[in-house]
Amino acid sequence: MTGAANRSVSAMFDSRAEAQAAVDRLKGTGVSDNQVRMTEGATDTATTGRAPEQDKGFWDSLSDFFFPDEDRYTYAEGLSRGGCLVTVSNLTSAEYDMVLDILDDEGTIDLDAREADWRSEGWGGYESSPYAAGGMAADTGRAPATTDQDSIPVVEEQLTIGKRDTSHGRVRVRAYTVEEPVSETVNLREERVELERRPVDRAVTGTEAAFQDRTIEAEEYAEEAVVSKEARVVEEIALRKVSDTQQETVSDTVRHTEVEVEDDRTAADRTGLNPTRK
């Protein structure tokens, strides 16, 4: 499975049913129809006696994909063997990780391992295909010219290091409201009216009006607690991304062809002359 720089993902499946299950699941997550493309392979999966035009048809069917020619040839071989290719394009970063997870879950094949199996069966790969540089022209429709000379191709692998984004987990902050009981102590003042009767024994003076109707009154007061609430912002929480760059040394092995020449001819034979006897 490969991911391109334009946020697209391609995955090969062994059968159309597996590919369709992956497509249905992708659409269930919100991926639109015009983002998903499924290319079906051959229904006759026999690998012997396969017509060259059949292989060329699968090669041409992938011409509008932005694949390197090596990947395009490998996908075409998978289609010719009955596989089914699913390509999802125009993905955001979040969609890209989600699509990778879904395709992995639905059983996409490991193309590197499958290509190794094909090579063990005699498949030569892109470097021996008619479309590789120096090979047969792909669109002429003519067989390559043959000569009486045999040749040994000198092949050299080149290490290419790519990059892709992988998810290392998410940080999610969710705000919600909870209620909790609180209590405060407050001092409340209360005023009461008490009736006080004091016994006295004195003569009525002239300033005091005897037998005069009078009314006195006093009002009782008491403080009561009044509750009010005010919402205040006491903290702010935000997420920000911090990126850094690190160097990583990737080690692998590359293969190349070594040519050993054994020449047991004499000097005269190599120049086309007969030796001169003295």
Question: What are the boundaries of each domain within the chain?
Answer: 1-134
The 10 Å CB-count burial string (b at 16+, else e) for 156-187 is eeeeeeeeeeeeeeeeeeeeeeeeeeeeeeee
Question: What is the reported pLDDT for 137?
Answer: 37
Q: Give the C-alpha distances (Å, rounded to integers) separating 144 from 70, 141, 150, 274.
A: 21, 9, 14, 38
Question: What is the reported pLDDT for 81?
Answer: 86
Backbone φ and ψ of 4, nearest 5°? -95, 170
Q: What pTM does this model have? A: 0.42
Contact 10, 94 (CB under 8 A): no
Q: Which residues contact 3 (CB under 8 A, 6 or more apart)?
A: 9, 10, 96, 100, 164
Length of the chain: 278
Distance CA 192, CA 17 (A): 89
Question: What is the reported pLDDT for 63?
Answer: 65
- All residue ranges of the chain with pLDDT < 70 are 1-6, 44-61, 63-64, 66, 132-150, 206-210, 266-278
Question: What is the reported pLDDT for 209?
Answer: 65
Contact 58, 66 (CB under 8 A): no
